[in-house]
Amino acid sequence: MRLKILFICLFVSALIQAQNHKYLNADTRLYNEADTNEGFKGYFKVNARVEVLSAQTTDWSFVKADNDTKGYVPSKHLSDKYNSNQNIVEDSDNPILNGDNYYGGHHLFVTVASLRARSEPNLSGEIRTILSMGEPVQVKYIPVEKDAWVNISDNRYIQRKYLNERPDYDALALTYASIEKSNTNERLKIAERLVELAWNTGYAYLKSAYLVLLDVATDTNNTALIKSTQMYLTLADGLEQPLPQETVTKYIEKASFKIKGVQTNKLIVDLNTVIDTYGQPFKIENISDECGVYYSDTFYHYKNMTLSVNPEENLAEIVNIILDENSVFIMNKNSIIDHTITETEFIKLYSKYIRTSIQDLHTYTIFNDYGGYNIVFKSGKVYSVTVFNLC
């Protein structure tokens, strides 16, 4: 009986909470009072979600924005569902951007390098992720106050002063050129911003950005930075001038793994042989595969590999391999990746075959017609290879 009462209470609570959340059916502002003449705290874009704390009158409602700021909005702009109307009248002063080539929804761009996004709207919040210069982030509500916090989705918060329109690479490069040679800290700061912005612009500026960073590293005799920058310059060459996709696909069309003690046929292994050689998996789980891209919904997890298995057929497909002395990745008969290869060596050999991003540095993707392979490096050495298939 107690459990039933608890369930009913939880259901009612969830229902009330859902009823208290509304969507804005137009651009509007969060006002200080139920009066447009009393000033405002920030801007909402259409379809921003708010918590309705109380309806003060038929004209105004007291609400809480997604960054926990409270204020008033016109009640006529509250709706139970998203507004799909494309003819919304926009607030011309609202700084939040609409979708563009960099982000599909309402957004702004990060304007500093290595920005920490936190779990709460304060400096004490746990660091959830590190954002990069020029990275687009979702924004539905933007406060006017520069030091106020913005929710950029998934309860990640950054301060308003670090968001704006998309930074301009050429303008930032001119800023770098104007800095005195002796001001190494400022030159390094701007160089790092140029590198991050170049990553978030596509690959066209990547080489020039790393040349700027190399300039700073050389002037300061920073040997570690010189070494890593030279590696990324090699990577930039390949990313800017990639091989045609059909060439890459052909290069890895017969890719396979070799595992000590287990015979493989491209990505398929004999399950009984795996168990005889490596024992029972430390974890077995079922994963729903609506796309049907894996061999089976049943996954066996070993210390050094993950397999999608079909016990009835006594076969398994390799999903992930940690490369060690017992395993290698064979891209083709002339290109074999074993556990000794360094990241620098790999980039020198394969920079024109791979894709990567600043969000996934040290993970390099080689695509084929149906998916591809993610090759991961840790501490400068190859770590693992994951097979992925497109839905």
Of the three residues 224, 240, 256, the one that is the final residue of a domain is 240
Q: Is pLDDT of 4 > 70?
A: no
**Domain span including residue 216:** 169-240
**Angular region, 221: left φ>0, alpha ψ -120 to 50, beta rest:** left
pLDDT band at residue 10 under the 50/70/90 scheme: very low
Indicate whether 297 and 342 sit together in one domain: yes
Q: Distance between CA atoms of 328 and 348, rounded to whole angstroms? A: 19
Here the contacts of 368-374 (C-beta below 8 Å, separation 24 or greater) are: 368/248, 368/249, 368/252, 368/253, 368/255, 369/249, 371/293, 372/252, 373/252, 373/255, 373/329
CATH number, position 154: 2.30.30.40
Q: Has residue 96 been placed in a domain?
A: no
Q: Are 324 and 384 in contact (CB under 8 A)?
A: no
Of the three residues 206, 240, 274, the one that is the final residue of a domain is 240
Q: How far is CA 259 from CA 5, 34, 94, 130, 372, in A?
A: 56, 69, 58, 36, 19
Token pair, residue 298, equals 């049943």
Q: Has residue 384 been placed in a domain?
A: yes
Indicate whether 276 and 339 sit together in one domain: yes
Q: Has residue 84 been placed in a domain?
A: no
256-259 sheet: strands from edge to edge:
256-259, 327-332, 335-337
Q: What is the pTM of this model?
A: 0.84
Query: How many domains would you assign to the chain?
Result: 4
Q: Is pLDDT of 12 > 50?
A: no
Indicate whether 318 and 355 sit together in one domain: yes
pLDDT band at residue 391 under the 50/70/90 scheme: confident
Task: Supply the pLDDT for residue 18.
Answer: 47
Q: Is pLDDT of 20 > 90?
A: no
Residues of the chain above pLDDT 90, percent: 82
Q: Which residue has the tokens 């590293």?
A: 217
Task: Supply the pLDDT for residue 294.
Answer: 83
Indicate whether 306 and 350 sit together in one domain: yes
Indicate whether 49 and 112 sit together in one domain: no
Which residues are CB-contacts of 15 (< 8 A; sequence separation ≥ 6)?
none
CB burial readout 106-137, b (16+ within 10 A) else e: bbbbbbbbebbbbeebeeebeebeebbbbbbb
Q: How far is CA 285 from CA 170, 307, 310, 312, 359, in A?
A: 51, 11, 13, 16, 29
Token pair, residue 112, equals 């500093």
Q: Has residue 89 been placed in a domain?
A: no
Please list the alpha-helical segments (H only) found in the chain.
2-20, 169-177, 184-199, 206-219, 223-240, 245-251, 271-278, 343-350
Q: Has residue 100 been placed in a domain?
A: no
pLDDT band at residue 342 under the 50/70/90 scheme: very high
For residue 90, the 8-state DSSP code is P
**Higher per-residue pLDDT: 264 or 209:** 209
Indicate whether 261 and 382 sit together in one domain: yes
Number of residues in the chain: 391
pLDDT band at residue 381 under the 50/70/90 scheme: very high
